[in-house]
Structure 1
């Protein structure tokens, strides 16, 4: 008999990095999901003193065997079979990634409707690729085909499709091609879209499904430096809202609005989003944002 009772709210297994100081990985996603009323089972892939945006840091990356050991303990308690979704972001090595894909498959055997949101963290414009060798190929060939929802930025999406984007319509067509190839995939969400048809003062976040495509526009906020953990927070809000309402357009409005308002509350020079001080923005962003159909 399992120790875990059936949950009354969604449960997310979040397998990400952890820092003692700052808001990235699980240190951003756990509080964000909890604030949205989601139960979180957090498995940490690293334990660092702080995120790398601060420069020097101490701590260690956990081996895949450590992750598997923690998952085995959860399995013994009957926790994995209660999970409604799996969330993953930055992956230190492909071994950790394979452990994530294994547990996704296991959860789907007991919960066929369980979701896997993969944020395929690889790089960004200006920085290029910043993950270890082998991770981009793992994301493209192994992780994305297993996911229900992916949240790449424009740089990462262009890597996944092997070419640059021309405009929003081209991004929609490319996302639909990817959906056609990968039958497990339900929604492609492209963040920080700055194709030539987007005004210089704006950013688009695009969501493409097989039967619908649309975007949310928000002001482009210039901060130097940009705080770390933006993608981790965005993906957590998107998944949390989607688990509640199963409406990708509504989830996109919520996640885009949250991230934009948090950035509005971020002081110049801050390396982290103000998740605690501005936590109401996680639940109900104060700005007005709209999902515009693009079909």
Structure 2
């Protein structure tokens, strides 16, 4: 049984981390092996707070070794990672990717490098950003940063479309073979912008910006999973990018229509397969 090892946070209520990423991949026809870095009652943007804890990095390694003991790492087609609960977990991710690729050299590693972004109020533990920048992201085949995370990785400020292209091109010299920027907030106030960069070129995707009273959490996790699914289906990077963009918008639109904060992934699940609205990507 081939599968995708998804190592991310998990919330009991709502959709963030694995709770956002696993179902879309399953809906696209993939077996997913979710491994939780933390388990929280809900995502961290609730003003009432949250409960739960991060798991020791040794727990992650023990579980991966358990999968290897039953001779299944050879059937792991991809490792997908997101929010890490400690710096030590970053080291566990590195060890895991190496173990998987030793058993299956064709497996790909997709890294959503979740860092602390002061503008979003996102906080991560000390040392995580440094490990991501210096050790984890260079190891990845695909990185899925937002604008802040990309700027941290390449050490440059991004204010314009030209800046974004140069940042992506520089990122491709640091290890990754593909860069999907899940949100470029500096490019437009009325459109949501994403960018894909590969050796073949850079591509821009834009869709209407939906105004929420409280911005949904877990959108990046959703985008990463949709893109991973597209790549594993054998689509070109451009096809996977356009599909991820359109399917994500459809889920956000349904969330907005219902006046909800939590992503309405289940309600909009048919859009994961065949998005109703298509926003063609453009080559830059």
Q: Does TM, normalized by the shorter one, top 0.5?
A: yes
| Alignment correspondent of 1:245 | 234
Report the counterpart of residue 102 of structure 2 in structure 1: 109
Return the match for 2:10 from 18, 21, 29: 18
* Alpha-carbon RMSD: 1.6
- Are 2:117 and 1:139 equivalent residues in the alignment? no
Question: 2:229 aligned with 1:236, yes or no?
Answer: no
Q: Which moved more, 1:238-247 or 1:267-276?
A: 267-276
2:67 corresponds, among 66, 74, 81, to: 74
Give SS of 2:172's match. Answer: helix
Cα distance between partner residues in 2 of 1:56 and 1:166: 33
Q: Distance in 2 between matches of 1:232 and 1:163?
A: 24
1:191 aligns to 2:189 (yes or no): no
Shift of 1:17: 1.2
Q: Answer yes or no: is the 8 Å Cα contact 1:123–1:155 preserved in 2.
A: no
2:39 is equivalent to residue 47 of structure 1: yes
Q: Counterpart in 1 of 2:156? A: 163
Query: Does the aligned pair in 2 maintain the 1:124–1:153 contact within 8 Å?
Result: no
Q: Measure the CA separation in 1 of the matches of 2:188 and 2:120.
A: 22
Unaligned runs of 5+ in 1: 1-6
Residue 261, structure 1, aligned to residue 250, structure 2 = yes
What 5-or-longer segments of structure 2 have no aligned partner?
A: none
Q: In 1, distance between residues paired with 2:95 and 2:168?
A: 25
More divergent stretch after superposition (162-171 vs 247-256): 162-171
Residues 224 and 269 in structure 1, CA contact (< 8 A), matched pair in contact too: no
Structure-2 separation of matches of 1:261 and 1:135: 32
CA shift for structure 1 position 269? 5.6
CA distance in 1, matches of 2:163, 2:45: 33
Using the alignment, how far apart are the partners of 1:175 and 1:52 within structure 2? 29
The structural deviation recorded for 1:181 is: 3.0
Structure 2 residue 270 is the aligned partner of structure 1 residue 277: no
1:271 and 1:70 mapped to 2: Cα distance?
33
Which digits, 9 at most, give the CA deviation of each residue in 1:229-272, with x for residues without a partner?
Answer: 11111100010011112411111111111111111111476331
C-alpha displacement of 1:211: 2.2
Rounded Cα–Cα distance in structure 1 between residues aligned with 2:182 and 2:56: 30
Distance 2:113 2:276 in 1: 29
Cross-structure match for 2:90: 97
Matched residues, number? 282
Deviation of 1:199 after TM superposition, in Å, equals: 3.9
TM-score by length of 2: 0.94
Of the three residues 195, 207, 215, the one matched with 2:204 is 215
Q: Distance in 1 between matches of 2:283 and 2:145?
A: 20
Q: Would you say the 8 A contact 1:152–1:190 is kept in 2?
A: yes
2:250 match: secondary structure: helix
**Matched residue, 1:4:** none
Instruction: Give the 4+ runs in structure 1 shifted more than 3 A.
Output: none
2:58 matched residue in structure 1: 65
Deviations 1:165-212 (A, max 9, x none): 142222222221221232xx11011122133xx443112210011222
How high is the TM-score relative to the length of structure 1?
0.90
